[in-house]
Amino acid sequence: MKLLILILKPLLIQCRQASELMSKEIDTSIGFSNKVRLALHNAMCLPCAYLRKQYRFIDSVLRRMETMHQVHVHEHLDNEKKVLLKKQLREFFEKEH
Ligand SMILES: [Zn+2]
């Protein structure tokens, strides 16, 4: 059991870190080890798994709008607005948590 804990410990992350990774993975690659950390965390943490679904849903809606209207919605949302939107989502989620 101790060996298992030693192996898993570097892979265990807190909700805040999971939330940051989920936010990052929408815009960029988070790497294999972070993907494993996130999958492991979300397998044990229902609220974070739910938040990831929300992030993905919002991203898919934005992408669909982009395809439908042939405009680059992501580019129209400047970085400041993206950060604010993600911050609001995170705060909303943390209240529910
Ligand atoms: Zn969590």
pLDDT tens sequence across 2-51: 887 787 777 889 999 999 999 889 888 999 999 999 999 999 999 999 99
pLDDT band (50, 70, 90) for residue 58? confident
Q: How far away, in angstroms, is 94 Cα from ligand 1 center?
A: 10
- DSSP-derived letter for residue 28 is S
Q: Does this model's pTM top 0.95?
A: no
Max CA pair span of the chain: 55
Q: How far away, in angstroms, is 48 Cα from ligand 1 center?
A: 4
